[in-house]
């Protein structure tokens, strides 16, 4: 069963994300990854196997950001290889996901017909690609999520970060 963590702080949150994933290791998983906002861009590190393998890679590249999400994956759609590990990302969003998007095939087919190129075999990547597609016309992240969620069928939990969005002024 997968694990999802998220963190936001006035300091680098990578060690917090890794600590959170380590605490979830007992649930079982095949790969792990984190994505952070560094300035306005998304940076991510993923690895097959233990959280410690992913941590080594994160340290090698000095992964650094004040907002981030992390995931330990239990594959349901697509084998346990790095390109299927979460977070799934575009230049606009990074997504971690627990569960199954039951209608991912039809959503993927529709996006591919529009020219979207997928990197993974997962059901999860349709969420990242759909959000990116919607954000061509709707830049507000909350409204973009509200537009995408009704299109998704299944039982799932999502964690999402948006490039360039460190906080939002809530009304």
- Member of 44, 92, 97, 108 binding ligand GLU (CB under 6 A): 97
Which of 50, 77, 83, 151 binds ligand GLU (CB under 6 A)? It is 77
Any idea how long the chain is?
A: 171
Among the listed residues 123, 128, 134, 160, the single contact to ligand GLU using CB under 6 A: 123
Radius of gyration of the chain (CA): 15
122 binds ligand GLU (CB under 6 A): yes
Q: Cβ distance 57 to 47 under 8 Å? A: yes
46 lines the binding site for ligand GLU (CB under 6 A): no
| Binder among 8, 81, 100, 147 for ligand GLU (CB under 6 A) | 100
User: Between residues 2 and 36, which has the closer beta carbon with respect to ligand GLU?
Assistant: 2
Question: Helix, strand, coil shares of the chain as percentages rounded to 5?
Answer: 35, 25, 40
CA distance 124 to 58: 22
C-beta closer to ligand GLU: residue 12 or 99: 99
Q: Select 75 or 116, whichever has its Cβ closest to ligand GLU.
A: 75
Among 15, 74, 118, 147, binds ligand GLU (CB under 6 A): 74
With CB under 6 A, what is the number of residues at the site for ligand GLU? 14
Closer Cβ to ligand GLU, 6 or 78, answer by number: 78
For residue 55, the SS3 value is helix
Q: How far apart are the first and last CA of the chain?
A: 36
Q: Does 76 bind ligand GLU (CB under 6 A)?
A: yes
The DSSP-derived string for 139-164 is --HHHHHHHHGGG--SSEEEEEEETT
Stretch that binds ligand GLU, among 35-43, 51-59, 69-77, 130-138 (CB under 6 A): 69-77
Angle, nearest 10°, between helix axes 51-60 and 14-23? 170
């Amino acid at each position: 069963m997968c694990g999802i963590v998220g963190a936001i702080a006035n300091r680098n949150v990578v060690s917090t994300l890794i600590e959170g994933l380590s605490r979830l290791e007992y649930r079982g998983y095949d790969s792990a990854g984190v994505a952070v906002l560094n300035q306005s861009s998304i940076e991510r590190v993923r690895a097959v196997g233990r959280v410690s393998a992913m941590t080594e890679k994160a340290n090698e590249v000095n992964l650094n950001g004040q907002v981030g999400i992390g995931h330990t994956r239990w594959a349901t759609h697509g084998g346990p290889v790095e390109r299927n590990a979460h977070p799934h990302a575009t230049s606009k969003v990074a997504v971690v996901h627990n569960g199954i998007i039951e209608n991912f095939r039809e959503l993927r087919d529709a996006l591919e017909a529009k020219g979207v190129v997928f990197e993974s075999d997962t059901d999860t990547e349709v969420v990242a690609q759909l959000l990116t597609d919607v954000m061509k016309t709707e830049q507000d992240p909350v409204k973009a999520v509200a537009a995408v969620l009704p299109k998704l069928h299944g039982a799932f939990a999502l964690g999402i970060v948006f490039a360039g969005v460190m906080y939002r002024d809530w009304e």
